[in-house]
Amino acid sequence: MGEEILSREEMPIAREDDVVLVRRRVRAIAAEQKLDSFATAAVTTATSELTRNVWVHGGGGSAVVEQIRSAEGRVGLRVTFRDRGPGIADIERVLRGGYSTAKSMGLGLSGSRRLVDELTIDSEVGVGTIVTFVKWRAF
């Protein structure tokens, strides 16, 4: 990835309350990094959706929150969500939106992708899923 990691914090997602704790921590870090109000709202919303996915679909896992700096000096926030759930068989279908295994609107991953600058998904059926997003502070 080539970014310098300025800080790194791993948080468990083992209870429903952890969804709120991870969201609050990401919001606080976004404020520390002086992300604008839109970017702060975007990472807070994406974090909430993705943390809930880990809890609901993956049966728990973790979030790693990193403050990063690019080689060009740009500051950002990278959050990686991991679970050992059933995995995602058709990532493209999920990213189109409207697909859910939990009787929801199915907009968690697709909506989150629109809110951040970068989003990657690595998933293996029967093994689990890793979703990482990056949001850069505007210059």
Q: What is the pLDDT, as a whole number, of residue 96? A: 72
CA distance 116 to 103: 25
**111 or 32: whose pLDDT is higher?**
32
pLDDT tens sequence across 86-112: 998 877 877 776 555 554 434 478 788
Q: Which long-range contacts (CB under 8 A, 24 or more apart) does 56-60 make?
A: 56/102, 57/83, 57/85, 57/86, 57/101, 57/102, 57/129, 58/83, 58/84, 58/85, 58/86, 58/128, 58/129, 59/83, 59/84, 59/85, 60/12, 60/13, 60/14, 60/15
**Does residue 117 contact residue 42 with C-beta atoms inside 8 Å?**
no
Number of separate domains in the chain: 1
CATH code, 26: 3.30.565.10
For the chain, give the mean pLDDT: 89
**Residues spanned by the domain of 112:** 4-136
User: Model confidence over 36-89: pLDDT tens digits?
Assistant: 999 999 999 999 999 999 999 899 999 999 999 999 999 999 999 999 999 988
pTM reported for the whole predicted model = 0.89
Q: Which two tokens stand for residue 92?
A: 């493209």
| Percent of the chain residues past pLDDT 90, beyond the cut | 77
What gap in Å lies between CA 19 and CA 58, rounded to an integer? 13
